[in-house]
């Protein structure tokens, strides 16, 4: 008499079914997408955190390079004139209360990538603070400390304070995004916003002391630009 077959043990492992060609392709692309996701995540972390550390260190260095004491109303007579400041060097300090009570950045001379990775930059061919014409400043919205992250929140009537070796200049914004994330959006080639008299030929003689701020649009991209403008309302010499 034949012995009855021993019943299978509970919990015994079953052989994993073989994946067909379609399953293999799906699995491959799934792993590829997971890898790509990790790479993107690491890149985002680097942009928002890694570059911020670099910029923070650069800001400390720039503050030490300033030829004047930001918190003092006095000068020792040895401060550099704005026109004598070389590209990449500390230029002055900018404060925008709309972005926070402690929002304060040392500006550099220049607006190339190498300059803006260290902080807001002064357009070298634009006016200096307090001069007739258009004092223009650019800064990043994402990465490198994202100084202009809240740019769309600027409103008409907001104040911009610029501290230089010879004094403090206060501007009042008269054209801004006013909370619109797409407000004052322009094409990259619309460099007229930083002309001496925006919207007029560069040969036009300025009659106002103005300021223009520019940044990238969208926040995590650079297909366009955004801008805000203002006019000088007061100045206090050292």
Count of C-beta atoms within a 10 Å radius of residue 109 = 20
| Predicted local distance difference test score (pLDDT) of residue 22 | 62
Active-site option among 144, 155, 216, 224: 216
Domain residue spans of the chain: 51-237
Least confident range from 7-16, 17-26, 35-44: namely 35-44
128-157 pLDDT, tens digit per residue, is 999 999 999 999 999 999 999 999 999 999
Return mean pLDDT, the chain.
86
Q: Is 216 one of the annotated active-site residues of the chain?
A: yes
Q: CA-CA distances (angstroms) from residue 19 to 12, 34, 101?
A: 21, 20, 60
How confident is the model at residue 71, as a pLDDT? Answer: 82
pLDDT at 35 > cutoff 90: no
Question: Nearest CA to 128 among 149, 107, 154?
Answer: 107
Catalytic residue from among 122, 140, 144, 155: 140
What is the tens place of the pLDDT at every residue in 69-122? 888 776 666 778 999 999 999 999 999 999 999 999 999 999 999 999 999 999
List the one residue out of 145, 149, 147 whose CA is nearest residue 50: 145
Q: Decide yes or no: CATH 2.40.260.10 for domain 51-237.
A: yes
- Please give the model's pTM, rounded to 2 decimal places: 0.79
Q: In whole angstroms, give the CA distance from residue 116 to residue 166.
A: 24
- Tokens representing 193? 């916003």
* Catalytic residue flag (residue 144): no
Cβ pair 235, 130 in contact under 8 A: yes
Q: What is the pLDDT of residue 186?
A: 98
| Residue 167 exposed, middle or buried by CB count within 10 Å (0-12, 13-18, 19+) | middle
């Amino acid at each position: 008499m034949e012995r009855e077959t021993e019943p299978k043990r509970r919990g015994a492992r079953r052989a994993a079914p073989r994946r067909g060609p379609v399953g293999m392709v799906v699995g491959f692309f799934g792993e590829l997408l997971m890898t790509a996701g990790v790479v993107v995540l690491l890149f985002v972390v680097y942009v928002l955190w890694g570059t911020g550390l670099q910029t923070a260190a650069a800001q400390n260095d720039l503050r030490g390079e300033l030829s004047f004491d930001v918190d003092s109303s006095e000068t020792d007579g040895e401060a550099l004139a704005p026109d004598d400041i070389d590209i990449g060097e500390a230029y002055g300090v900018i404060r925008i209360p709309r972005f926070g009570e402690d929002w304060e950045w040392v500006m550099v001379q220049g607006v190339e990538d190498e300059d803006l990775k260290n902080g807001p930059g002064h357009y070298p061919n634009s006016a200096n603070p307090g001069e007739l014409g258009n004092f223009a400043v650019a800064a990043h919205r994402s990465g490198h400390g994202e100084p202009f992250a809240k740019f769309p929140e600027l409103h008409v009537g907001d104040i911009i304070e610029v501290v230089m070796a010879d004094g403090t200049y206060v501007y009042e914004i008269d054209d801004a995004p006013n909370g619109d994330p797409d407000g004052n959006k322009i094409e990259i080639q619309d460099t007229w916003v930083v002309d001496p008299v925006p919207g007029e030929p560069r040969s036009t003689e300025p009659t106002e002391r103005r300021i223009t701020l520019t940044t990238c649009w969208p926040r995590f991209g650079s297909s366009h630009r955004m801008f805000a403008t203002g006019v000088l309302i007061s100045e206090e010499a050292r």
